[in-house]
Amino acid sequence: MTAFLQWLWHVVYFSAPALGLASVLLLFLRLKGADAARREPKRVWWTLFLSGFATSCLGTAWTGLDGAMVTYGGLVLVTGVVSAWFARA
């Protein structure tokens, strides 16, 4: 049971940056008055989260390290581009 809990917490902490960034960006999109964020906030949040999580997975596969700074830079860049797309839509 201990190995399962360690794996579970690792997955939770691995996805935490994408989760936090998606939540903050959705808040800013809603405050800015983006139409998509007001009409379909779940779709916007899930898109931001999944793009961030995919970036984290790709960065880990590319660098071989969990939590490399280039991965966090890519996470910010990709979620920023996606949120800018939603802001214009």
pLDDT, residue 50, reads: 98
Domain boundaries, the chain: 2-88
Decide if 25 contacts 83 (C-beta within 8 A).
yes
Residue 12 vs residues 32, 36, 85: alpha-carbon distances, Å: 29, 28, 27
- Does the pLDDT value for residue 1 go beyond 80? no
pLDDT, residue 78, reads: 97
DSSP character for 1? -
Quote the tokens at residue 11: 């997955």
- Write out pLDDT tens, residues 26-71: 999 999 999 999 999 999 999 999 999 999 999 999 999 888 899 9
Residue 9's pLDDT band (boundaries 50, 70, 90)?
A: very high
